[in-house]
Amino acid sequence: MTTGRTPQQDGDLRHEQQPERAAGIPAVLSSTEVVLRRAGPRGLRELARVNQFDGFDCPSCAWADPDGDRSFAEFCENGAKAVADAADRHRADPAFFAAHTVDDLLAHSDRWLNDAGRLTTPMLRRAGADHLTPVTWEHTEQLVAEHLGATTADRAVFYTSGRASNEAAFLYQLWARSLGTNNLPDCSNMCHESSGTALSPTIGIGKGTVTLRDLEVADVIVVLGQNPGTNAPRMLSALQACVEGGGTIVAVNPMNEVGLSRFVNPQDFTSPTRAGRALVGGGTPLAQEHLQVRIGGDLALLTGVQKALVEAGHVDKAFVADRTSGFEQLRDHLAAQSWEPLEAASGIGRDRMQWLAELIGSTRRVVWCWAMGLTQHEHAVGTIRQLANLALLRGAIGVEGGGLCPVRGHSNVQGDRTVGVWDRPSDALLDGMETGVGGGWTAPREPGHDVVASIEAAARGEVDVLVALGGNLLQASPDTDATTAALGSVHLAVHITTKLNRGHLLTGETALLLPCLSRTEADDTEHGRQFVTVESSMGVVSRSTGRSRPASGDLRSEPAIVARLAAASLGPSTPVAWRDLAADLDRVRDLIEASIDGFDDYNARVRQNGGFALPNNARDGDFSALPGGRAVLTTYPLPQAAPPTEQDTLTLMTVRSHDQFNTTVYGEDDRYRGVHGDRRVVFLSAADAVARGLADGQRVDVTSHAPDGQRTIHGLRVVLHDLPTGDCAAYFPEANPLVPLSSTAIDSNTPTSKSVPVTISPA
């Protein structure tokens, strides 16, 4: 069977001691090496433009930019690698595709496919053909229009990855909705969906409430289920500022992630005194406390901390009485909990929970940060609501130095949702859009498919056309074998993309690869140089201008591709002047302003350096849209502990390495975890290895267990690591074949990629 699994290749695994500090000179060297190898000297020039006011937004993560002075190098190692990847000087051109059959391409590693370089020309993979062949843009538009014309809108799916700009994403969802569907799954469904679902009904907004300054002046920052050293390195500067101001950082994580323990800020090397301190002192110690929670144990931990907080009398009574509802129920629920099950489920002692309650009980300046370690679990939504409880019980929301901070992944994933990429849109969003578009345009009101529902629909043969605005739906999704089979049956797949990935070769009987400009490249139209806009994790909208020469003369901007496909497939039945819009993105922003709250004076305000902040009711302490005008405290029962199984089951989390951006693998190393040369590994505690008679480096088979069957990956190598007994880890996306499609978080439907029951046996 053809599968989207990464081919097995024997890497040369070296397992070394974990380093003691993050970033510093090794980070500078590692990024420079990748930049020069992929992009050449031009890459270094691009780096000078990252996150500058007149430059482009870093295509890596969504961490916010400083308001005021921007240092010369507002980027991190991973940003540098992402820029190099986009500015790649290699080309996957028609000659490359003529030289490689589809089967030949599939036999290569993900990294090799990515390293083929930038796409230069629209390419067609005809059903059953050996090779991809070049096609004209006109032909691609015709083909898409034909396929969409031959089916109904509910059998078309429009996926978005979070790198798309506000302008591209807005036009894209308008196209899908103009056809008549809300089938708008996006990477957020696999990412922070649980956070939005948890927060909207409790604090009235599905976003974080803090600014960058809040982190810098906080007394306490608690970082749960997040690995900032690897995944949001610029956040380390904010943590450093917090520590230097006397703040305490607490890490809640099954792994002791290096990026959270000690940080050498590469930007310190621009100042001689700071550089001296960094070199001699070995950097700034960050997380002073590490709570080594068991995988999935955060609900029990946060319940225990609330219990301790209430028992110690640290509740802000006035705030709770005036601004929240549900306190009595919560108090009774907490009183009814006994400590033993909370300790057993979290792996954290009662004394440590009481310690954390004391720490946060003496100040309102507490920021709660979290990411995938909380969102990708069955009980994620309930867990995140307990975290919101903790902020509300202390009145520590919408205050200087305090609040909630879900750290977003993709650089514009938050903006894409704001401008309408949403499978379950609110009526308010659709009403606004109908007014904004005008001309009697109506939006479909039936909820659409999210990621998991789209794959399930495809498996039932109910998806004819799949369009993807970036991303790698096939490899980012769970259950790689089942997902490959499902997505393979779609009649036509349309990928708007900068580079080749495995998903492009397996999704759809027929597939189109439509090559687009990257963030770094100039978009010059008859209206002059265009810029796009993006929203950071902290709700700040700013502009991004590419300046370099496009990788090929035949590329189009993402908004232009979307607008042309929309024009071709909708015909005259639309009040939207698609072609004009894409050439003048100010007009798209006018349409966003007319459709969506908070974008008043969009074109003027986004031209100011640093952009503008979107409205945030919770940041302003305004809960008037919630029942009774109050924020909602909620209870969530501790799930029954799973009965012991005969097999010796472990809980597996799938995590990122230091040398990848999601499914794009830059290298085989994970410097921060001491792993080099091979990503096909499984991290195991020494106790669990001994119990199974396994040694470091040994090859094992890992099998996951779900009600609908077993899934196995063969030949992973054991890496001994400091983990709680009963927990293990492997890399995303290589381990995705183990994650069952049917296992998702309650209410948010996010795949449970961080809690997969597995057994491990010698290969």
Report whether 312 contacts 350 (CB < 8 A): no
Minimum distance of ligand MGD from residue 121's CB (angstroms): 15
Report whether 515 contacts 120 (CB < 8 A): yes
Minimum distance of ligand MGD from residue 652's CB (angstroms): 10
d(CA 152, CA 704) in angstroms, rounded, equals 37
190-219 binders of ligand MGD (CB under 6 A): 190-191
d(CA 86, CA 46) in angstroms, rounded, equals 10
173, 178, 195, 230: which one binds ligand MGD (CB under 6 A): 230
The smaller minimum CB distance to Mo ion, of residues 421 and 514, is found at 421
Tell me the two tokens of residue 416.
């894409």
74-103 binders of ligand MGD (CB under 6 A): 78
Q: Is 492 in the site for ligand MGD (CB under 6 A)?
A: no
The full DSSP string for 676-694 is ES---EEEE-HHHHHHTT-
Q: Which stretch binds ligand MGD (CB under 6 A): 13-21, 123-131, 292-300, 392-400?
A: 292-300
The contacts of residue 397 (CB under 8 Å, 6+ apart) are 203, 209, 391, 403, 404, 618, 621, 631
Positive/negative CA dihedral, 408, 412, 418, 422: negative
The smaller minimum CB distance to Mo ion, of residues 185 and 409, is found at 409
The smaller minimum CB distance to Mo ion, of residues 307 and 656, is found at 656
The smaller minimum CB distance to ligand MGD, of residues 52 and 520, is found at 520
Give how many residues touch ligand MGD by CB under 6 A: 60
Nearest to 159 by CA among 416, 473, 455: 473
d(CA 234, CA 77) in angstroms, rounded, equals 9
Q: Is 472 in the site for ligand MGD (CB under 6 A)?
A: yes
Minimum distance of ligand MGD from residue 301's CB (angstroms): 8
Report whether 417 contacts 187 (CB < 8 A): no
Q: Is 225 in the site for Mo ion (CB under 5 A)?
A: no
d(CA 111, CA 477) in angstroms, rounded, equals 18
Length of the chain: 763
Give how many residues touch Mo ion by CB under 5 A: 2
Q: Is 661 in the site for ligand MGD (CB under 6 A)?
A: yes
121, 414, 498, 749: which one binds ligand MGD (CB under 6 A): 498
Minimum distance of ligand MGD from residue 702's CB (angstroms): 13
d(CA 161, CA 342) in angstroms, rounded, equals 37
505-524 binders of ligand MGD (CB under 6 A): 516, 518-519
Report whether 217 contacts 245 (CB < 8 A): yes
Q: Which does 303 bind (CB under 5 to 8 A by kind): ligand MGD, Mo ion, none?
A: none
The smaller minimum CB distance to Mo ion, of residues 548 and 748, is found at 748
Q: Which does 546 bind (CB under 5 to 8 A by kind): ligand MGD, Mo ion, none?
A: none
4, 55, 266, 471: which one binds ligand MGD (CB under 6 A): 471
Q: Is 448 in the site for ligand MGD (CB under 6 A)?
A: no
Query: Number of C-alpha atoms within 13 angstroms, CB side, residue 255?
Result: 29
Q: Is 371 in the site for Mo ion (CB under 5 A)?
A: no
Q: Is 252 in the site for ligand MGD (CB under 6 A)?
A: yes
38, 394, 499, 680: which one binds ligand MGD (CB under 6 A): 499
Positive/negative CA dihedral, 506, 511, 512, 516: negative
Place of tokens 């604090």: 203
Q: Give all strands (DSSP E) within 279-410, no chain letters.
A: 284-285, 289-291, 324-325, 366-370, 403-406
Q: Which stretch binds Mo ion (CB under 5 A): 13-21, 82-90, 144-152, 404-412?
A: 404-412
Nearest to 187 by CA among 410, 406, 374: 410
Please give the DSSP secondary-structure letter assigned to residue 453: H
Q: Is 117 in the site for Mo ion (CB under 5 A)?
A: no
Q: Is 191 in the site for Mo ion (CB under 5 A)?
A: yes
The smaller minimum CB distance to ligand MGD, of residues 24 and 204, is found at 24
Q: Is 409 in the site for Mo ion (CB under 5 A)?
A: yes
d(CA 743, CA 447) in angstroms, rounded, equals 21
**Which helix (H) or strand (E) is 525 found in, with range?**
strand 523-525
Minimum distance of ligand MGD from residue 740's CB (angstroms): 11
Q: Is 532 in the site for Mo ion (CB under 5 A)?
A: no
Report whether 420 contacts 173 (CB < 8 A): yes
d(CA 336, CA 202) in angstroms, rounded, equals 23
Minimum distance of ligand MGD from residue 229's CB (angstroms): 9
Report whether 136 contacts 515 (CB < 8 A): no
243, 250, 653, 758: which one binds ligand MGD (CB under 6 A): 653
24, 283, 296, 667: which one binds ligand MGD (CB under 6 A): 296
Tell me the two tokens of residue 689.
């290895």
88, 257, 343, 378: which one binds ligand MGD (CB under 6 A): 257
The smaller minimum CB distance to ligand MGD, of residues 437 and 505, is found at 505
Minimum distance of Mo ion from residue 110's CB (angstroms): 17
Minimum distance of ligand MGD from residue 501's CB (angstroms): 4
Please give the DSSP secondary-structure letter assigned to residue 571: T
Q: Give all strands (DSSP E) within 121-229, no chain letters.
A: 123-125, 133-134, 156-160, 220-224
* Distance, CA of 23 to chain centre: 21
Using DSSP bridges, classify how beta strands 675-676 and 14-15 pair: parallel, antiparallel or unpaired.
antiparallel
Q: Which stretch binds ligand MGD (CB under 6 A): 314-322, 367-375, 455-463, 674-682?
A: 367-375
Q: Which does 753 bind (CB under 5 to 8 A by kind): Mo ion, ligand MGD, none?
A: ligand MGD
How far, CA to CA in Å, does 344 sit from each of 68, 301, 689, 722, 754? 47, 10, 21, 19, 19
Q: Is 405 in the site for ligand MGD (CB under 6 A)?
A: no
Q: Is 702 in the site for Mo ion (CB under 5 A)?
A: no
What does the binding site for ligand MGD look like in residue numbers (CB under 6 A)? 60-61, 78, 161-163, 187, 190-191, 224-227, 230-232, 252-255, 257, 293, 295-296, 298, 371-373, 376, 409-410, 469-473, 476, 496-499, 501, 516, 518-519, 558, 653-656, 660-664, 732, 736, 739, 753-754
What does the binding site for Mo ion look like in residue numbers (CB under 5 A)? 191, 409
